[in-house]
Structure formats: C-alpha cells, structure tokens
Amino acid sequence: MADKVIYAMYDDDDVLKDGAKMLVSKGVKVTDVYSPFPIHGIDPIIGIKNTRLGIMSFVYGLIGLTLATYGMWFFMIDDWPMNIGGKPSFSYKENFLSFMPITFEFTVLCAAHGMAITYLIVNKTLPGMPAQNPDPRTTDDKFVMEFRMSDNTSMTESELVDLLKKTGMTELDQKDI
Amino acid sequence: MHKEAAIREPLILGHKTYHDITEDVCRPIEDKAPKTWYILFGIALVIGLYGVGCILYLLGTGVGVWGLNKTIGWAWDITNFVWWVGIGHAGTLISAVLLLFRQKWRMAINRSAEAMTIFAVFMAGLFPLIHMGRLWLGYWVLPIPNQFGSLWVNFNSPLLWDVFAISTYLSVSLVFWYIGLIPDFATIRDRAKKPVAKKMYSILSFGWSGRAKHWNRFELVSLVLAGLATPLVFSVHSIVSFDFATSVIPGWHTTIFPPYFVAGAVFSGFAMVQTLMLIMRKAMGLEAYIHKKHVEYMNIVIMVTGSIVGTAYITELFISWYSGVEYEAYAFINRATGPYWWAYFAMMTCNVVSPQLMWFKKLRRSLLFTFIISIVVNIGMWFERYVIIVTSLHRDYLPSSWSMHFPTHIDIGVYVGTIGLFFVFFLLFARFFPVLALNEVKSILKSSGESYKNAPDAHHDEPTPTPVVEAASPVVEEKVEEKVIEAVKKGTKKKLSDEEIQSKTYELIAKIGDAGSALDDLKVISGVGPVLEKKLNSIGICSYDQVSKISKEEYDLLDQLTGSFPGRAERDDWAGQAKELMNKPKS
C-alpha cells in the first residue's frame, strides 16, 4: 500500500518534546521518534507503552532458579550422593545452604542472558542488520519525528506540514513507501 | 528534565554541544593512531607474548616449573588470580551500583571501567585454568555426564562455586557492556567514511536505530541488568573469599573474609581505574569529561573502602588474639614479625596508611598525587593477597615442613605477561571502541554540563524557538530557581544595575584598549564558547590583542560583566592564550 512518511528534524530534544506535545494535542499521531540518546518523558507523549522486558527477566530468573534447584537435587542427592566426611547427604533441605551460591549465580545468569537475548530479538537488532534510522545524523546530534500519513488520515499533508513549521523544526524530509 | 543544584560542580566542562561530544569521542577512533599508541601496543604485545610463552612452557612441562612446594601449594598463581578478580570489581560496580544510585559522574568512566573489568577477569580466569596443570581437562569443572559413570562435580565445594561465580560475572558484565556499546557503535557507523570501517561498525551496531521504543527498552534493560549485576559484584568476591574462609588453615578461616574481600576488591579496582583514566584522559584529550571532580569522587570511594580494609586488618589481628587459639594467633604474629614481615609491612603501609591521605581535599583533587597513590594501592593489594596466601601457608602445623616461597622466572613471566596481555586488550579497546558512553554523556549534558549550568540564560545557546505549548514547568518556577542560583552565587556574582554595567564596561575597555577593526575568532581560546564570545563582543572585546592585555583586575571586572563561572577566565589564562594566538602566523 502506498504510504507517505514525513520526517521532521530538530536540533534539540526539549524542542522536539514540546513540539510533540503540541502536535499530539492537535490530534496528530507521531509514529516514531529517533534520537541519539533516550529523551526522558517522550514515551507517554507519543503513546509508547512501557516495555515488559522486566517481567520477562523475572520469568527467565525463575526458570534458572528451577533448573538449578532441580539440577543440584539430582546431581548431589538423587543420582550420586557423595559421602563427605560421613556427613549426611540424603535430603536437599539439609544441604541447601551449600547449594545457595550456585543457585544464585545460575538464576542471575539466566535472568540476565534471557533478557538480553529477548531484547535484541524484539528490537530486531542483531549482528549484521541494516541501519534503520532515517538520517545518519540521528545518532549524533539530531532528533527526528516520524509521521505516517496512513496514521494521520484526518488531515492532509500540507496541514501537517503547516503544524510542523510551528514546532521549531530545522529540516523536513518525506518519503514514499 | 532533572535539574541539578548550581553549587554542584559541572561534570562536563567547557561549552560542549551534542555534536562536540560525538566529535571528541570519535576523533581518536577516526584519526590515525598516534605513534605512542603503536609504541605502547608493541611493548604490551611483546610482554604479553612472553607471558604466553611461559604459559605454554608451563603446560608442556607441568606446574612444577612454578616455585610451589609441598607446604606452599598456592602462591603467585592464586595471588595473581585474586588480584585480577579484585581489579575486575570496579567496572561493574561503577556501572551497576552507581546506576542504581543515579550517580551521573559514572557516565564518563563506566565504559572504560567495564572494559577494564572484562579484561581483568580474562586475566584472572587464566590462573585457575593453568593451575589445573592439564588445561585440556578443564571441562571437568562442568557438571556433564562423563566416562566415570555419573560422578558429578562437587557442588559443596567453594572452588566450584568460584567457577560459576566468575563465569557468570564475566558473561553478564560482557553483555551489560555490549548492550551499552550498541548505540555508540551506531554513532560511529553513521559517521564512518571508509568502507571497511563502515561495514565493521555496522555489524557491531546490530542495526541500531535509536527509536523511542528501543530507547525505552534499552533503559529498562540497563536498569534490570544493573539490578542483577549489583548482587553479582558482591557475590563474586565473597565466593572468592570462601575459597579461603571455608578451609581450616589458621589465617584463612575467618568469617570476616567476605565483606573484607569485597571492600578490598572495590578498593583495588578503583585504584586501577584511576591509573588507567588519568593516562587515558590525557592521551585522548578527554579532560572536559573526566576531570578533577570525577577523580575526587573515585578517591572518596578509595578512601572509604581503604578504611574498611584497614579496619578489617586490625579486627582480624585482634580476634586472632582474642580467640585464644594459639595457631590462629601465631599465624598473625608470624605475618607481622616472621620472615615475610616486609610483605606485611608493604600491605599495611600501602592499604591502610595511603588511603587516609585522601581526607585532605587538596590531595584528593591532585591528579599527580592520585596517580601515585593508585599505583601504591595496586602494589599494596597484590601484597595483601600474597600475605594471606603465602604467609599463612609457609609455616604449617609441622615445623619440619616449614618452608619459604621463591618465585621462579616462570612465575614472574606469567604474571608480567598477564599485565602485558591486559594492556594489549585495553589499548585495542581505546583505539577502536568509544571509550565514553556517548549516549549517556549526552543525556546529562543539559543537567550537568558547564555551559548549561553556570549561565542560567545560556539555555538559549542554541536557537530555541518559543515553545507553542506552555512547557510543564511554568515561568514562576524558573524564576524561583534563578533566585536560588543567585543566592548561591552571592558574593561572587551580584546583579549589576545598568549604569554600573556601563561604567564597568568603559573602565574595562579603557584598560585593555579598543578593538579597532579587528574581529578575531575568540572561540579558539579554551573556555570561550559561542555564547561567551557573543557576550565579549557585546562588551567590546573582539581581538586577541585586547584579551592579551587582561590582568588580575580586569579579570574581576570581566567576571562581573559576563557573570559566567567566576574565576574561570583567569584560571584558563585567557591572556596567555591570546598572546600565543597573536604570535601564531595567520593561516
């Protein structure tokens, strides 16, 4: 489907933020914002929901905890109980303390790596992926707001551009996709 | 945006813009490497290769080539292992713990401190591996089904805990470091001109785009990783200390070990960070980002952890006597007065006395002094481990087996070799990686950058258009803030009436002369940015000639007129700089 994308470029993060606020109040849908560093407070303005990666990390941690607990019970209690200085090795409970360190480490290992891998996959940032930013300067000192005309059916292109001109943008670019 | 108190020293000096930060960090990567880099790299490589040679010889011949004997089964190997692990503590502490505490000063140093951590843990991991003697059987530490039936590794053993702790720490630190690096690689990718560099950095940057959603995830992932890494930092060295504390060797089995090892690790880690940062900031021209305030903060950490370590030493000593166990007491008397008294003395002086000097503000803000102390602490912490390991072992329960440890040249070669390898890695990092967390430093520019902080009106540095929608912070709030800033600066900066400004301007111009038709680029003078230049021009200062005539009295006048960062002009020696600029042939 033919769609038109408009990119408005800004010099300053605060100008962009104020501009976005104004545009949203006028009913414009900001599709995306590209910036060289996180602009704090932009997400609620343009309607981006908080990520749920934190929950995922917790889930991965639980998986790690379960695996470690099961593993140690199996290795040390069930499969081959070691006789160390005649001390009993018959139940997980009695040996629990000495299993703590590795259980902890393994939980952290799973939580951290699971989350990191998920993060890279959902971002679609993987080795060798092509760059997705509209302008190379957005990783340096420029901030870009992206609008899709399909998201903004209530107004024409020129109306949107007129609004944009009031926000203190420095450059305008558009692309058909 | 968070506002920061005006009396807090700025973290980014000078009048930097976002683009300046990119330039400053990318320049060393994009330019040709200086000759000193090649020389240093060559030296490090030679030393590192020598170390590799020693390791290969050791693997081929056996652990007997070390100076170990029946009584002293652990010596330099484990000393070096603990020393390197300790050094590897600062990086993740800086990036994780300080992130949780929202310490902004961490942003200038976290990237390189983490790199240091990772390389130090590489070096640390090497020692237990080669200490096994048969490196190719190293996989025996993993719980995998094997040819001996279902005989598993012993999960009760602190040595096995250590395997898990160190490898988890290494891999999580690596991931944490790399996730922070991705956006910065993207910056370099988007600037790269050479096709090879472009290709390399575009692979490394994973196609990072910087969209809002990605940043949202990025920040959460950093936060959660910091939360996970924080207990990890403390667990790693606690577990390293269990290697000793769970044994029954006098001098080792003390319950104070875990906290004391952690404090010691942070102590030595920060010392190594200081050593590296002080060289790096100079070599790579990052003085505006890593400056006295950062050094001071790190010195305070060194002072605090050094004091904890000192307290622990003395507690240990007291308890060995108070316990009434004569073996325990002898171990400590022997440390201080036995044949290894010199090692004990080195440890006490370097680790207990030297950090106490940091109570003096003058000393902890002195770069040279900090550099010397950081080396002293590194040496002291090596001796701490040497004292704990060798001195506790060398006189065991049976006097007929008492012995001394003499390192062989292989011992020394392996140790020095790891230092060489460490610098090989670190120099490569400094050459090809962004040594400053670009995206993080940019995000604090407005709250902690000098040009934004000290001139409240300099918010109009860039042509900021009047916002159409009223910003969330109403004008009233800003006014109050300005007043607070004014009150803070009372005495150094008074609001001048128009006539006063007029008369002072006349006075100043009368002293330094008219600009005539000259219109020099004052921005060349370090400390003068575009804003200040405009101000100076409006006063009537346009030429180097005028600036060069400024002396003490005029500096004061100038400070009152420009009202930005009192004393700065004098400290930067504008007059001296201007003189030099005048004498430079016009290009």
Report the pLDDT value the prediction gives residue A35, as an integer from 0 to 100. Answer: 87
The pLDDT score that the predictor gives to residue B581 is: 73
| Angstrom distance (rounded) from CA B316 to CA B322 | 10
Evaluate if residue B467 carries a pLDDT over 70.
Answer: no
Per-residue pLDDT of A83-111, as tens digits, reads 777 776 777 887 888 889 999 999 999 99
**Span of B84-93, B422-431, B565-574 with lowest mean pLDDT:** B565-574
CB contact under 8 A, B211 and A132: yes
For residue B46, pLDDT beyond 80: yes
Please give, rounded to a whole number of angstroms, the shortest distance from the CA of A80 to a CA of chain B.
7
Q: For residues B236 and B231, what is the distance between their CA atoms, to the nearest angstrom?
A: 9
Chain B: closest CA distance from residue A123 (Å): 6
Pick from A51, A6, A1: nearest CA to A169: A6
Q: What is the pTM of this model?
A: 0.79
Phi and psi at residue A23, to the nearest 5°: -60, -45
Q: How far apart are the first and last CA of chain B?
A: 43
Which one of B22-36, B120-134, B549-563, B572-586 scores highest in mean pLDDT?
Answer: B120-134
HEC states along B123-138? HHHHHHHHHCCCHHHH
End-to-end CA distance of chain A: 8
Q: How many residue pairs bridge chain A and chain B with CB atoms within 8 Å of each other?
A: 229
What is residue B454's predicted lDDT score, i.e. its pLDDT? 60
In a domain, B462, yes or no: no
Q: Over 60: is that where the pLDDT of B480 sits? A: no
Yes or no: say if A61 and A110 are a contact pair by the CB < 8 Å rule: yes
- For residue B126, being part of any structural domain is answered with yes
Q: Which residues of chain B does A112 touch, with a Cβ-Cβ cutoff of 8 Å?
A: 171-172, 175-176, 225, 228-229
Higher-scoring residue by pLDDT: B191, B483: B191
Q: What is the pLDDT of residue B374?
A: 92
Any chain A CB within 8 A of the CB of B415?
A: no
B278 and B171 share a domain? yes
CB contact under 8 A, B439 and A36: yes
Q: Are B420 and B117 in contact (CB under 8 A)?
A: no
> What pLDDT shows up at residue B515?
63
Report the alpha-carbon distance of residue A53 to residue B228 in Å, rounded: 14
* For B437, nearest residue in chain A (alpha carbons): A37
- List, as one string, the DSSP characters of chain A: ---EEEEEEES-HHHHHHHHHHHHHTT----EEE-SS--TTHHHHHTPPPP-HHHHHHHHHHHHHHHHHHHHIIIIIII----BTTB----HHHHHHHHHHHHHHHHHHHHHHHHHHHHHHHHT--TTPPP--SSGGGGTT-EEEEEETTT-TTS-HHHHHHHHHTTT-SEEEEEE-
Q: Confirm or reject contact between B325 and chain A (CB < 8 A).
A: no
Q: Per-residue DSSP letters for B186-198?
A: HHHHHH--SHHHH
Distance CA B236, CA B86 (A): 9
Q: Give the pLDDT score at B420.
A: 94
Domain ranges of chain A: 1-36+141-177, 53-123
Cα–Cα separations (whole angstroms), residue B53 to A72, B23, B47 = 39, 40, 10
Per-position b or e across B28-67, b if 16+ CB within 10 A of its CB: bbeeeeeeebeebbeebeebbebbbebbeebbeeebebbb
Region B288-302: mean pLDDT is 89
Q: Which residues lie closer than 8 Å to B454 by C-beta, 6 or more apart? A: B6, B10, B564, B565
Return residues 207-246 of B near A (CB < 8 Å): 207-221, 224-225, 228-229, 231-232, 235, 239, 242
Mutate one of B146, B185, B213 to test the A interface: name it (highest A CB count within 10 A): B213
Distance CA B232, CA B237 (A): 9
- Closest C-alpha among B211, B214, B212, B207 to residue B189: B207
> Do B136 and B238 reside in the same domain of the chain?
yes
Mutate to test the interface with B, among A75, A121, A125, A171 (most CBs of B within 10 A): A125
Q: Are residues B412 and B538 in the same domain?
A: no
Q: Is residue B456 part of a domain?
A: no
Structural domain includes residue B474: no
The predicted model gives B405-433 an average pLDDT of: 92
Judge whether B468 lies within some domain.
no
Same domain, B509 and B435: no
Residue B457 scores a pLDDT above 70 = no
Most A CBs within 10 Å, among B206, B440, B447, to test the A interface: B206
B60 pLDDT higher than 80: yes
B296-315: per-residue pLDDT in tens?
999 999 999 999 999 999 99
Q: Is the pLDDT of residue B138 over 50?
A: yes
B410 close contact with A: CB closer than 8 A: no
Q: What is the DSSP string of B366-428?
A: -HHHHHHHHHHHHHHHHHHHHIIIIIHHSS-S-GGG-------HHHHHHHHHHHHHHHHHHHH
CB A147 within 8 A of CB A160: yes
**Which residue would you say has higher pLDDT here, B539 or A52?**
A52
Query: Would residue B435 count as lying in a domain?
Result: yes
In a domain, B473, yes or no: no
Q: How confident is the model at residue B79 (pLDDT cuts 50, 70, 90)?
A: very high
Structural domain of residue B232, as residue ranges? Answer: 18-143+154-447
pLDDT at A98: 85
Tell me: do B230 and B355 sit in the same domain. Answer: yes
Contact B214 A125 (CB under 8 A): yes
Instruction: Tell me the two tokens of residue A94.
Output: 């009695």
Same domain for B83 and B184, yes or no, is yes
**The predicted structure's pLDDT at residue B485:** 52
CB A42 within 8 A of CB A33: yes
Q: What is the pLDDT of residues B330-358, one digit of tens each?
A: 999 999 998 999 999 999 999 899 999 98
Q: What are the distances in angstroms from CA B366 to CA B104, B107, B299, B357, B373?
A: 21, 21, 10, 12, 11
Q: Does B80 share its domain with B214?
A: yes
Residue B364 carries which side chain, given as an amino acid letter? R
Residues 6+ apart with CB under 8 A from A149: A3, A4, A5, A6, A157, A160
Interface of B with A in 163-182 (CB under 8 A): 164-165, 168, 171-172, 175-176, 179, 182
Contact B365, B296 (CB under 8 A): yes
* Residues in chain A where the model's pLDDT stays below 70: 1-2, 88
Range scoring the smallest mean pLDDT among A25-29, A104-108, B282-286, B447-451 = B447-451
Could you please report the per-residue DSSP string of A102-113?
A: HHHHHHHHHHHH
Q: What is the ipTM of this complex?
A: 0.90
Rounded Cα gap, residues A140 and B442, in angstroms? 10
Taking Cα atoms as reference points, which of B526, B121, B506, B92 lies closest to residue B285? B526
- B443 and B507 share one domain: no
Q: How many CB atoms lie within 10 A of CB B171?
A: 16
Residue B469, pLDDT > 90, answer no
Mark whether B411 and B298 lie in a shared domain.
yes
How far apart (Å, rounded) are the C-alpha atoms in residues A25 and A27? 5
Q: Is residue B11 part of a domain?
A: no
Judge if B184 and B267 occupy the same domain: yes
| The total number of structural domains that make up chain B | 2
Measured CA to CA, the distance from residue B236 to residue B232 in angstroms comes to 6
CATH superfamily for A1-36+141-177 is ACT domain (3.30.70.260)
Interface check B17 vs A, CB under 8 A: yes
